[in-house]
Amino acid sequence: MNQNQKTSDKNNMKSEHNIHSNPIMPRKTANRLYGGYNNSPQPYGYQRNIDPVDVISDFCSSARSGKTSEDILSCVHNTAISKLGYSFTAIGLVNKKANYIQLKFTDYIGNIYSSKIILSEYKNPIIECYINKTKKNIDNFGFLNVPYFQNSPGIIFPLMNQGECMGIFIAGSSSLNQQNTDLINILTDYLSLFIINKNLSEKLIKNPDVDTLTGLKNHKDFHENLSLEMKNAEYNGQPVSVIIFDIINISKINREFGHSKGDEIIRMIANKVKQNIRDIDIAARYGGDEIAVILPGVDNAKAIYMAEYINHNISCCLIDDIGEIKLSIGVSTYPTCSKQKEKVLILAEQAMLISRNKEYHNGISSIVSAQDIDFWNEMALDSLAAVIAKKHSQWGINFEDELVNQFHNESMNCTSHIIDVVTSLAGAIDAKDTYTRGHSQEVCRYTEALARTINLPPSEVERIKLGALLHDVGKIGISESILRKQTALNDQEWEIMKQHPRIGVEKVIKPISSIRDLIPIIIHHHERWDGTGYPDKLAGVNIPLGARIVAIADAFHALISDRPYRKGLNLYQAIEVLRAGAGIQWDKELIRKFIIIAPSLVSKV
């Protein structure tokens, strides 16, 4: 037995004797991971010319082949002892729940000593390093009450992960030099990365359904759980609610403060959600900055209460440099909102987007329930279109089909309600084309003015106004690639576009008996006075009067509006075009009447 081993055994026996007074718990035998050090060709403290690149390269190569975090710790210890001449190393990872750092010291022959250092021991140099997140030079480690390390100087390094200290690394030696210190500093950075990656990999292998950042269920598992809970709810006749929390301006936070700050906020919200839901509830990371919760057996009113409670707890948390965190929150419930899983989620996301807009206007987090949404509200339609556009490829749900289905299911016995719904439908369809948003409402305004000018009865004026609002409803069946084309349509595209009057009548108008009298206006508003229009090539007075009026209003608004391929005409240029087409494309007498009132219809030219 060599002298070093005798000294170690003697110290071990002494430590056992004082086991109740010494917090460091030694092991009498060398750990097998480090057994090879006993045969090290050079004693610890041996100094030689060191190639930094060679040291780092060897460490990275060895660490990559490590299968566990313990293997990686073995690599850095081996490098510190055999390459850099240190006499011992120590690693301490933080256990925040238990409020301590678990330290494991390993000397150059493989003896292991362990200890727990409480985080509240603020005067302990190791805790100082952890709190300040900076390395700390130590003249000796006597404060640890380990005889073997009493007179050994060393350095304590913080192990950093995205601005947070996850633990410490200690390297001790009887003789320190700056080059070795710099190398160990670099190795601890690598060590942090390797440990994080290995831990993430191990978690993923153990539970592939858990999101690694938040510890919540991942997106895939969320969908599986929601399908299961909805089946159970259907069988038991119970509700299931979904809440989606979205962090407002997370992209701005990431941009201004870095993604580590954004991740910190997401983790904080995930933890608060976990702490404030029931054991049977299921929380998941639904998207990049979205947390969703499934609430089995919870109706809409109780789900709103739960959302308010969680939101209150989150709003009480302040993040450094950010302040209070604000959320947009959407709630949807089976079966009151929908009986289909996809629709429940779409409605929850729609409610969340509406909440985001309300937050922007009111300055406070607002909780919106899908059950309380007015489908035909402009904000609601825009939000629904945004959600379905994102989900279309995934679920095959089409925004236009949703509009038509809802339109057909509306009870439209009241004239004012018909006007409101038709106006919203027309606005949503206009939005398909960036350059014609608001087109139908303007055409309706011009149509009403012309109809009153020729003294039509009020009931007929109202009928033609509705026809004007719905004149382009057939564009619901036209591809956006055609509607939004930046250049003039080719012949094939034009033939497709010419189908929109018939599409509107067949797909939208015919199923609703209360508005079937609008069909002549809608289907014939592209006929021409000379009989060369479409779809039926009607001529002169054979074209319904309402369709002739809408045709002029439609053409005038198109002339004065900008298009991707041309600038809109001014008032007088547009009037000249109308004059030139009088008796050819449009009713000559109606053009004469419209030209008289046109200046009053255009406030800015």
202 and 214 belong to one structural domain = no
Find the distance separating the first CA and the last CA of the chain, reported in whole Å.
Answer: 102
pLDDT at position 24 is 42
Q: Do residues 549 and 450 make contact, with C-beta atoms less than 8 angstroms apart?
A: yes
CA dist., res. 362 & res. 491, Å (int): 50
**Which stretch, 72-81, 225-234, 416-425, 485-494, has highest mean pLDDT?**
225-234
Q: Do residues 120 and 31 make contact, with C-beta atoms less than 8 angstroms apart?
A: no
**Which stretch, 60-64, 130-134, 437-441, 530-534, has highest mean pLDDT?**
530-534
161 and 282 belong to one structural domain = no
**Which stretch, 54-63, 146-155, 276-285, 405-414, has highest mean pLDDT?**
276-285
pLDDT at position 588 is 96
Q: From 81, 80, 86, 118, select the one nearest 99 (Cα to Cα).
A: 118
Q: Give me the mean pLDDT over the 117-143 stretch.
A: 85
Tokens of 145: 């009450």
Contacts of 603 (CB under 8 A, 6+ apart): none
Q: The CATH number of the domain where 523 resides is what? A: 1.10.3210.10
Q: Do residues 388 and 402 make contact, with C-beta atoms less than 8 angstroms apart?
A: yes
Confidence band (pLDDT; 50, 70, 90) for 208? low
Q: Is the pLDDT at 31 greater than 80, yes or no?
A: no
Q: Is the pLDDT at 531 greater than 70, yes or no?
A: yes
Q: Do residues 270 and 283 make contact, with C-beta atoms less than 8 angstroms apart?
A: yes
Q: Please name every residue paired with 323 in a beta bridge, in sequence order, or none if there are none.
A: 319
pLDDT at position 305 is 94
Q: Which of 368-382, 445-459, 545-559, 584-598 has the lowest mean pLDDT?
A: 368-382
Tokens of 57: 């390269």
366 and 458 belong to one structural domain = no
Instruction: Provide the pairing of β-strand 318-319 with 323-324.
Output: antiparallel
Q: Please name every residue paired with 138 in a beta bridge, in sequence order, or none if there are none.
A: 154
**165 or 591, which is more confident:** 591
323 phi, psi to nearest 5 deg = 90, -145
348 and 416 belong to one structural domain = no
Q: Do residues 116 and 23 make contact, with C-beta atoms less than 8 angstroms apart?
A: yes
Q: Which of 11-15, 64-68, 562-566 has the lowest mean pLDDT?
A: 11-15
Contacts of 253 (CB under 8 A, 6+ apart): 247, 261, 262, 265, 322
* Cα dihedral: 10, 46, 106, 139 (round 10): 90
Confidence band (pLDDT; 50, 70, 90) for 536? very high
Q: The CATH number of the domain where 278 resides is what? A: 3.30.70.270
Task: State pTM to two decimals.
Answer: 0.57
pLDDT at position 147 is 60
Q: Is the pLDDT at 473 greater than 80, yes or no?
A: yes
314 and 331 belong to one structural domain = yes
Q: Do residues 130 and 165 make contact, with C-beta atoms less than 8 angstroms apart?
A: yes
Q: Which of 36-40, 134-138, 387-391 has the lowest mean pLDDT?
A: 36-40
Q: Please name every residue paired with 90 in a beta bridge, in sequence order, or none if there are none.
A: 105, 170
Total structural domains in the chain?
A: 3
Identify whether 41 is preceded by a cis peptide bond (ω within 30 of 0).
no
Q: Give me the mean pLDDT over the 105-125 stretch.
A: 82
Q: Is the pLDDT at 277 greater than 60, yes or no?
A: yes
301 and 402 belong to one structural domain = no
The b-or-e profile of 380-391 (16+ CB within 10 A means b, else e) is bbbbbbebbeeb
**502 or 64, which is more confident:** 502
For 288-354, give the secondary structure using H, E and C. Answer: CCEEEEEEECCCHHHHHHHHHHHHHHHHCCEECCCEECCEEEEEEEECCCCCCHHHHHHHHHHHHHH
Q: Is the pLDDT at 7 greater than 60, yes or no?
A: no
* Cα dihedral: 487, 489, 493, 499 (round 10): 120
184 and 310 belong to one structural domain = no
pLDDT at position 575 is 94
CA dist., res. 465 & res. 445, Å (int): 8
Q: Do residues 138 and 153 make contact, with C-beta atoms less than 8 angstroms apart?
A: yes
Give 308-358 pLDDT, tens digit per residue: 999 988 888 777 777 778 889 999 999 999 999 988 999 999 999 899 887
Q: Give me the mean pLDDT over the 253-262 stretch.
A: 82
419 and 497 belong to one structural domain = yes
Q: Please name every residue paired with 101 in a beta bridge, in sequence order, or none if there are none.
A: 94, 117
Chosen domain end from 364, 393, 422: 393
**Secondary-structure percent of the chain, ordered helix, strand, coil, rounded to 5:** 55, 15, 30
Q: Which of 20-34, 72-86, 349-363, 377-391 has the lowest mean pLDDT?
A: 20-34
CA dist., res. 115 & res. 26, Å (int): 9
pLDDT at position 397 is 65
Range of the domain at 314: 208-393
Query: Where do we find the tokens 């035909």?
Result: 376
What's the whole-number average pLDDT of the chain?
81
447 and 298 belong to one structural domain = no
pLDDT at position 85 is 80
Q: Is the pLDDT at 46 greater than 60, yes or no?
A: no
Gyration radius from the chain CA atoms: 37
Q: Give me the mean pLDDT over the 217-246 stretch.
A: 93
List, in sequence order, every beta strand (DSSP E) within 77-153: 88-95, 100-107, 112-118, 136-138
pLDDT at position 591 is 96
User: What 3-state DSSP class applies to 92?
Assistant: strand
366 phi, psi to nearest 5 deg = -120, 135
164 and 242 belong to one structural domain = no
User: Which H or E element spans position 158?
Assistant: strand 154-161
pLDDT at position 201 is 59
Chosen domain end from 361, 393, 425: 393
pLDDT at position 580 is 96
Q: The CATH number of the domain where 11 resides is what? A: 3.30.450.40
358 and 411 belong to one structural domain = no
Identify whether 335 is preceded by a cis peptide bond (ω within 30 of 0).
yes
493 and 559 belong to one structural domain = yes
pLDDT at position 431 is 72
Q: Which of 234-243, 313-322, 387-396, 515-524 has the lowest mean pLDDT?
A: 387-396
CA dist., res. 268 & res. 262, Å (int): 10
Q: What percent of the chain has pLDDT over 70?
A: 82
Chosen domain end from 393, 419, 442: 393
Q: Is the pLDDT at 36 greater than 60, yes or no?
A: no
pLDDT at position 392 is 54
Q: Is the pLDDT at 32 greater than 50, yes or no?
A: no
CA dist., res. 466 & res. 216, Å (int): 51
**508 or 428, which is more confident:** 508
Q: Is the pLDDT at 593 greater than 90, yes or no?
A: yes
Q: Do residues 88 and 172 make contact, with C-beta atoms less than 8 angstroms apart?
A: yes
pLDDT at position 186 is 81
